[in-house]
Structure 1
Amino acid sequence: MSVARGSVVQGNFNALTRSGTAFVGIAVNATDATKTDIKRSTDSGATFTNVVTATAFPLRNLSASSSTIIAVGDSGFISRSTNAGLNWTDLSTAEAPPVGPLKDVASSSATFWVTVGQTNAGKLAAEWSSDGGATWSAATSIPNVSGTLRAVTYDATKARWCAVGTDLTLTTAVVITSTDGQAWTPATITAPNGTTALNDVASDASGHLLAVGDNGLILSSSDGGLNFTAQTIPGDLVTENLTSVVYSSTSGTFTAGGQDLVQITATTSGAPTVSQAPVPGGGDINTLIVDGSGQVVVSGTDINLTATVTLGSLTATYDGTPKSATATTNPTGLTVAFTYDGSSTAPTNAGSYAVVGTITGSSYTGSANGTLVIAKANQTISFTGPADQGFTSSAITLSATATSNLAVSFSIVSGPATVNGSTLTLTGAGTVVVQAAQAGNSNYNAATSINQTFVVAANFESWRLANFTAPELADANVSGPNAVFGADGLSNLVKYALGLAPKTDAAAGLPQVAVANGEWVFTYTRPTSITDVTYAVEVSTNLSAWSTTGVTHELVSSVGGVDTWRARYAVSSASTAFFRLVVTH
């Protein structure tokens, strides 16, 4: 079962009915509690507006058949609407002697109606109408009982009317039946423990009736109301007065309600089965109706229904967008508002937030507490290191990005280099390992560091850096490629090319000339690792014209990082030959 109510249900509705999509109710007048208003809703009971204010006499109940609605009340007062409750006409009673309060009204069709209550003399009273409620006549016969009839219903399958109430003399239940709404006879009640006052009765239109009353009294009938049997009462219902009962063809169950929002359901397949499902909350149920979807709508006095709220989506990972909790409610579909550490704004940053979810915008109350945890996000680094290269004194700019868009820092793990910010400076030749890191912040975990390795090849610049002081490096006449540092007459570039120390006069490692096998042979050694200079051997017969023509320049051996090269020139080409080694950087 689903329980719902409109926003004005708190306004002490005595009765509700449904005509098409409209809810029409009788409510206590806001300024005079002895009077009643007729209210109407076209939004499933969410909001009601007055269509009649302060009726001539207090109304007690109403019922609808198609677009016709009949309302009844004190002093035999009857009011009628033929347009689903929009407009009303007051009618006079035909009861003689004058009827007293009328308690309920029902129809078997759009034209035939019955209303029940009490005469001014305190006896059972019933009236009927066969013209859609326009005119009314008193019942032709009715048991002479001092009491009041509080409810009436019609069972279409058995074609029988049933009215229930109280014998005020015996303070017991009264049940009477009729096939035409005019002549009434007592029904048979089987109740070993006795009965109390009956307050309402409902039919499933298939011969099954359920009547409810004070102290949890429940009577059922399976023959259209001729015979009623008391049903087993759930233990905690014994002291509760049940005031209203309805039947939903959608669910196939009867639903009854009463004091303290006690709710019972009964099925009629086979022997009736009664079960209790107390509605959480406070207040008393005055009346129940079934809406167009088969849901039961509750009206009552100071109803304060409570619902359960279950929070969800309490874990998330930071991604720069707000993270909101979710909630499910019982009953379902209720609106829940959230606060996070007291703020209605959903948090974005990582952390823990106290969440309170509170039902809003309905007649239900309920809340739940929880903790929303937004975890730090992981991040990764993209870093492409410098390519292998020869030594350079120029700065190398490093570049790396993190998926967090946070700044990446660099450090030298090993090798001849320093780094300042994103600027890397080489300090020599060798293998350099540079690391990119991102330490994270309040929203991101630290990234896994990325190491990149590159090789710095030795060259003339790294040789200069390794062999000259800073002042010497600044003076090209001392450390430049063509500068001659010592007394051996060899330039720095030549010494670099031959693997000689720049500041030591060369006494060994110089080229040698010999004659072998009819050839002039020029032999020299050079480091295998040097790749940034070119070597050429030229020959001249007069120290004026130099050429490589006729010279065979070839590698002889490569041992221990030293290459031995020779240049051969035929003796027959010249009786005298001069050789020179040309080194170009």
Structure 2
Amino acid sequence: MTIDRPRMMCLMDYMPVYTSRMLKTIAVMLLALVTSPMALAGWVAVGAKGTILNSSDGITWLEADSDTTETLRGVDFDGVDTWTASGQSGTVVRSNDAQNWMQQISGNNDALWSTVFEGGQWIVSGGRGRILTSPDGIAWTSVNSNFSFTLFDIAYNQNNLYAIAGDLGIATTVLTSPDATTWTQNPPQPNNAEGLYGITYDNTIWIAVGDKGKILTTSDPDSRSWAEQPSGTDTDLRDIVYNGTDLYIVVGREGAILTSPDAVTWTPSDSGTTFDLFGVAYDGSGQYIAVGDEGTILTSSDGFSWSTKESPTFRFLYDVASGKLPQTINFPAQSTLFQNFSASGSYSLGPEATASSGLAVTYTTLTAGVCSITDTTVTMISLGECQIEASQPGDSTYLPAEPVTQSILQISTPSPGVPTNPGLVFDPQDSEVFAPSGSFTLTPPANTTQTPVDPQPEIAYASSTPSICSIPLRGSTEVTMLSVGTCSIVAASAPNSLYSLGGPVTASIEILKRPQNITFGPQASQDFVLNSTFALNPKASASSGLPLEYSSLSPSICNSNGATITMFAAGNCTIEATQNGDDTWEPATPVSQTISLVVPPKQPQVIDFPAQVPLFQDAIPGASYPLSPEAASSSGLPISYRALSPGVCTLSGITVTITGAGACRIEASQPGDDNYLPAVPAIQSVLHILTPPGPGVPTKPGLLFDPQDSELFSAGTTFVLSPAATTTQTPVDPQPVIVYVSSTPSVCTIPFQGSLEVTMLTLGDCTIIAASAPNSLYSIGGPVAGTINIYKLAIPAVPVPTLPQPLLWLLGALAAAVAASKLRRGTQKLSS
């Protein structure tokens, strides 16, 4: 198990490597496009951003569908048919074929580091002392380890002890457990400051490796007594594997590989790379694989000489595991479907069965009362159908094969004389569409054309393509479909007292792949934002249930990474969904959908540029002051400023430099961007004043600004401040100058000096700040604020007039009388 830590590197240092590796990677990816995924890989490697690679031989690697974008750091195989990997954010994914993975519910969000199948159960460890267990890789239980440090790797002694290597941050630690449920902390002694990242067990001793070349060994981790072995390096070590007999291999940073025959004496090996190596594994039959930075994959047949293999990814790979490959048995129909019975007589199988793995096939009789078998020789016991099963139990590389059965009919010896040829014929058959475990009837069946006299010969059938189809030897013409391909059925008629052996004759039935179709619903338009992404919704689905692939038919507009679309430009983004079929499904007709990537209408923005504090500055040429408060835009975009008063002030950034006396007017603007319209500029002013020194202490002018009336809104029109601000403590001239400024410039504006007219811009509270300038007699007055509510005239509801109740009664009585009068006149007309 491994860990990645950030490191600095210069891209130019790796440019030659990237160039050559990129060309090779493109070649590997092209190969992957025309290579069918294996049913079950012999190797799986996992890494950054959900990367999962698989390989049948450790040489050619394909990228799998991991069902996650989270980084994966641990992977293992259960020895039967299940792979499990784990990683960031509590991610756990599971697969039965190493190609198609599905996320599982782990019940936590911690960073997970190690994944192993040991002692008949799955165990995962990770950050914050997290330990998970599962019997099947689906249902996970969180075990309380009672610790909060990171747990990096797990080992098992095949008996009753699990050990986990961890890092306290200031020292290393080891946890042990008899059952993977109850854990005890047993820190190695003497104390070790370096973290441990890999641990294994070799039948007698435990070996752990970690930072700064640390290698520790012990016969019992519960004892806490560990011996440090000289590694000969201070390179950080990340993983260790034992081949089960005579070789330990350790990998680490900067391409480090160490080997040892005894876990005590260590020798460096040349890996041929300077990339960090994070994981190493052995397949039990002579092949080692190490993985690391930038998709690095190394292989070795002896652990000493390593070669780099092509990788379909540049992403970091953190762990690798060995699995088993599938195999099939080919056991054709026997060339002689009938044998004349002779007690204790024997005959040889022909043809014999073979395994796709090349491993030896074992035969067993399924009809012990009819026949027995030794090697490939069948001994007859009685009349009847002799069924022989061919099997292959697998080994360290191959899974057990599915057994295949063939039959021979052991019959009575025909009577002497010259038998008649029965004239067996077996007409051509129509093709069939594959259905799993489906069946069809031979139509027409085989028949004899030269048998006018009974007893009629018995016709038997056998499949000469048992991996494609099967049929009972006798009593049925129902054929069971097992796979797609040419199903060859052999028919023969048994000899009897009148007729000789008929056939064998063969009829072939083409079992065709199933058709499939893609459903891909319309997509909603998307607001275009350069390089941003969105998910297809709804996603496409195939009637076969197989996973879909997506590609962009408009690469200048958009790109697809699975069902995630990246936008490059506004326009029509056309995404095509494809499903290329598999062993039993035809490729589907591609279906595309077009998504409109539209530039959204720009949003308005306003600038808030409050009145400056203070409103007055001494007119000292060359002096400076900052804008305060600064302006802000409702969009959050940056503000630009410029000075509008040459000779009075200049501006650099938000710093105003005084060049003369007068009103320094500053404009705040925001030009907009792809999402926002330009804002209406806002202006504020600061008065640069010449304050002649006067005798004594200046008098406070007593500035007052009485409440203002509300104003009816009319855009762009003005009203006059009434009453204006006044000074109440200024009996002696010179009188101070009073200035006004709007602190709500988006609602209203007012000239800084010389006018009391306020311009209305929109509805709301218009706040005007008044201040009196200091002079030789008086200090600054204010600032004081007056608020004017600018409102919109409401249209009053028109009341519905009502009548007094007595008048309503009178009107009702009159209406009744009129109605009665009309009724009488109508009656009179009818009677006349």
State the TM bucket, normalised to the shorter chain. 0.3 to 0.5
Bigger Rg, structure 1 or 2: 1
Using the size of structure 2 for normalisation, the TM-score is 0.31
Query: Which structure features the higher share of strand residues?
Result: 1
User: With CA pairs under 8 Å and 6+ residues apart, which has the higher RCO, 1 or 2?
Assistant: 1
